[in-house]
Chains A and B, each alone.
Chain A
Amino acid sequence: MTAVVSPPADLAEPRVRRRVARTLIPLRRVGLRARLTISFALGGALLSLVLSLIAWGLTRENLLTQKEDAAVSRVVTNAVTVRNGLSPTADIEQLLGSLPTPAGSQPVIEYKGDWHAKNAVAFGEQALPSELQATVIGGDAAVFRYVYDGEPYLAVGVPIPSQDAAYFEGVSLIEVQDALDGLVISLLGASVLTTFAGGLLGFWASRRVLEPLTDVGRAATAIAGGELNVRLEEEGDADLDPIITSFNEMAETLEQRLERDARFASEVSHELRSPLMTLAASVEVLENSRDELPERAQTALDLLKADVDRFQTLVEDLLEISRIDVGAVKLFPEEVFLPEIVIQAVSAAGTGPVPVIYEDDASEVVVRVDKRRFGRIVANLLDNARKYAGGATAVRIEVVPADDEGPERAHVVVEDEGAGVPVDERQLVFGRFSRGSESGNRASDTGVGLGLALVDEHVKLHGGRVWVEDRADGRAGARFVVELPVVPE
Chain B
Amino acid sequence: MGTRILTVEDDERIRTAVRMALEDEGWTVEEAENGEEALETFNRHPTDVVLIDIMLPGVDGFEVCRSIRRNSDVPIVMVTARADTHDVVAGLEAGADDYLTKPFAPKELSARIRALLRRVRTTDPGISHLKFGELEIVPEEGLVLLHGEEVHLTKTEFRLLVELASSPGRVFSREVLLERVWGYGYFGDGRLVDVHIRRLRTKIEADAANPRHVVTVRGLGYKLQT
Contact = CB atoms under 8 A, between A and B. Distances in A.
Nearest to B110: A284
A341 interface: yes
Interface string A339-357: 0010011001000000000
A315 B219 CA distance: 34
A330 interface: yes
Interface stretch (A60-68, A270-278, A386-394): A270-278
Most chain-B Cβ atoms within 10 A of its Cβ — which of A273, A323, A335?
A273
Query: Interface on chain B toward A: helix, strand, loop, or mixed SS?
Result: loop
The 5 A-B pairs at the shortest CB distance, nearest first, are namely A281-B17, A344-B186, A277-B103, A288-B24, A276-B103
Contacts of B185: 344, 348
Interface in A275-322: 275-278, 280-282, 284-285, 288-289, 312, 315, 319
Contacts of B219: 335
A39 to B, nearest CB: 57
Given A270-B81, A274-B102, 7 more contacts: A274-B14, A277-B17, A278-B13, A280-B17, A282-B17, A334-B190, A348-B185
Given A273-B103, A284-B106, A329-B84, A372 B187 contact: yes
Given A274-B11, A274-B14, A344-B186, A285 B81 contact: no
A407 to B, nearest CB: 21
B106 A372 contact: no
A92 B17 CA distance: 144
A375 interface: yes
A371 interface: yes
Interface string B18-31: 10110010000000
Nearest to B81: A270
A330 B103 contact: no
B118 interface: no
Interface of B: 11, 13-14, 16-18, 20-21, 24, 81-85, 102-107, 185-187, 189-191, 219
A344 B185 CA distance: 9
A285 B103 contact: no
Nearest to B79: A277
Contacts, number: 77
A332 B190 contact: yes
Contacts of A371: 186-187
B21 A278 contact: no
27 contacts: A273-B102, A274-B14, A274-B102, A274-B103, A277-B11, A277-B14, A277-B17, A277-B102, A278-B16, A280-B103, A280-B105, A280-B106, A281-B21, A282-B20, A284-B24, A284-B105, A289-B24, A319-B82, A323-B82, A332-B84, A334-B190, A335-B219, A344-B186, A348-B185, A348-B187, A371-B186, A375-B187
A281 B14 contact: yes
Contacts of A282: 17, 20
B103 A348 contact: no
Contacts of A315: 103
Contacts of A274: 11, 13-14, 102-103
Nearest to A344: B186
A147 to B, nearest CB: 97
B106 to A, nearest CB: 5
Contact of A278 (B14, B85, B187, B191): B14
A428 B17 CA distance: 40
Most chain-A Cβ atoms within 10 A of its Cβ — which of B13, B107, B187, B219?
B187
A332 B191 contact: yes
Nearest to A277: B103
A270 B11 CA distance: 14
Most chain-A Cβ atoms within 10 A of its Cβ — which of B14, B24, B84, B103?
B103
A453 B187 CA distance: 22
A480 to B, nearest CB: 21
B92 to A, nearest CB: 14
Most chain-A Cβ atoms within 10 A of its Cβ — which of B11, B84, B191?
B84
Most chain-A Cβ atoms within 10 A of its Cβ — which of B107, B186, B191?
B186
A330 B84 contact: yes
Contact of A344 (B102, B187, B189): B187
